[in-house]
Amino acid sequence: MANEIVNPQITDAVTQAPQASGDQRGSRRVIVGTVTSSNMDKTATVTVIRRVRDRRFHKFLTRRMKYHVHDEHNTAKVGDVVEIVESRPMSKTKRWRLLSTLSRAVEADQHTHAGAHTEPQIEK
């Protein structure tokens, strides 16, 4: 009597419930920002800009937050728009991981800027 399964449908639902939930680590915040520095090894600094409304004057204000992001393969370049996700603490300041790069920064053409810095020719 102790080894009998009373309702097999209930036991199947219980055993399959954890597998169907997807990510076992829970929900994590995903935010979009711009890379402002990538000079460190495996770390990038991402600035996230939010626009919030002032409660008293109803004026829109710009709020900026800087996050240190773990970039395992050093793929982030300054100006890239990236998606970052919360993760476990990796150092004193790193609590975010680089999830994906949404758009790459436009690289400046070296030939165009080389001529722009020369002095103008003055005819005598």
3-state secondary structure the chain: CCCCCCCHHHHHHHHHHHHHCCCCCCCCCEEEEEEEECCCCCEEEEEEEEEEECCCCCCEEEEEEEEEEECCCCCCCCCCEEEEEECCCCCCCEEEEEEEEEECCCCCCHHHHHHHCCCCCCCC
Question: Residue 15 has what pLDDT?
Answer: 47
Question: Residue 26 has what pLDDT?
Answer: 80
Find out whether 76 and 82 touch, Cβ atoms under 8 Å.
Answer: yes
Question: Residue 106 has what pLDDT?
Answer: 84
Question: Residue 13 has what pLDDT?
Answer: 47
Find out whether 51 and 58 touch, Cβ atoms under 8 Å.
Answer: no
Which segments of the chain have a pLDDT < 70?
1-23, 108-124
